[in-house]
Amino acid sequence: MDVVVLTLTASCRPSPFLLNFPLGDRSSLKPAEVPTEGKSCLTSRNPTSKRKRAMKTLRLVPLFAAVAMNFVSAPGNAQEAHPAWAYPMNPPGFKLANDDGSIRRVPDSTAGYTLTQTRDRFAATDWHPEDHPPMPEVVAKGRKPDVFACGWCHRADGPGAPENANLMGLPYVYIVQQMKDFRSGDRKTSIAKRAPTTLMIAGSKAVSDTDIEDVARYFSSLKPRANYRVVEAAVVPKSTVLGWVNVVKESAETEPIGQRILEVPEQSEDYESRDSRARYIVYAPPGSVSRGMKLVQTGAEGRSLPCATCHGPELKGTDTIPPIVGRSPSYLARQIHDVRTGARAGTNAALMKPVVENLTDSDIVAITAYLASLAP
């Protein structure tokens, strides 16, 4: 468990940067694939039919299905508003930094790329080829014009970043099913303007089943690594949003953390260069990790189920259920919220909904901070 407690101001600040994540420009997407301003992605669902279908596919713990089906939701406990800290949105007028043509470098790599090269959506920036086996073509290059390289968004060996999923070591069956859920419309986002998910939905409709199988086989074979360092602090650096990710402002200003998590790159230039070994600082309110451990182990003190019921005794998943340790807190929080709202209604989501719908916002902060502190 990698946790640091700060009692005064946060003195260890990531350096500022202009993020290399050109998703503010959606010109490559067809109009029908990009939600209009203010249009909601929320859809009504039939929980009974979805639950029955999910139960047929769940092979993990029969007891869990029985318990989850009988969960009684306490009125008013579910949090309707989305946790803003988990859904960073680009500010108005967001633009990418200009490329000066210089060759960029990252630690422990002999490779070199210009900023423009790292922005090529049809070429995974591969700083550390020794970290992974040869990439399938769809991971390395995508399929023009509609399928971006999987390794561009999720990095060459799949660790992803706060704006998207860490694919390293996810179960093969799970990856395949999630792509099918994106394609069918069962998996969306609660926030219509979240381009990372919008791009996933568009790509899932253009990619072939064979490509999906190649992607799942590749990423499921990779061993996860620790990318997050949890720092408990009452006061944190002020931040802004660039490219769907929180970044520290250039000033040395600080502010109270409040009831949220602040997740920022540890070394800005490595992240901007799309280095797959980039690490992140997770600022969390004091006491979050210890409280999160209790909530995870007890099932939120009876308001939910212990996470190990589904995700295994070490929370590292099974052959069909994903691991939840060592993951981005903002990513996990988005999944919890999307399940609660029905935006994520694919396989097993009907079983997850009664488990998470009574969690409070402070519960989610504590749980995701604790999970981020654990080794994957």
Domain spans of the chain, in order of start: 3-111+223-373
Handedness of CA 316, 321, 327, 330 (dihedral sign): negative
- Residues with Cβ within 8 Å of 354's Cβ and at least 6 positions away in sequence, in order, are 68, 69, 71, 73
Between strands 228-233 and 280-284, the pairing is parallel
Instruction: Decide which of 74 and 281 is more confident.
Output: 281
Q: How many CA within 13 A on the CB side of residue 371?
A: 28
Q: What mean pLDDT comes out for the span 359-370?
A: 97
Tally the residues of the chain. Answer: 376
Name the one residue in this structure whose structure tokens are 């939910």: 304
| Range of lowest pLDDT (5-14, 212-221, 238-247) | 5-14
Which pLDDT score is estimated for 63?
39
Tell me the pLDDT band of 96, cut-offs 50, 70 and 90. Answer: confident
3-111+223-373: CATH number: 1.10.760.10
H/E element, 209: helix 209-220
Confidence label for 86 from pLDDT (cuts 50, 70 and 90): very high
Structure tokens at 345: 């209604």
Q: CA 208 to CA 11: how far, in whole Å?
A: 48
pLDDT confidence bin for 4, thresholds 50/70/90: confident
pLDDT at position 109 is: 98
Q: Is 158 left (phi over 0), alpha (psi -120 to 50) or beta?
A: left
Nearest to 133 by CA among 222, 220, 215, 225: 222
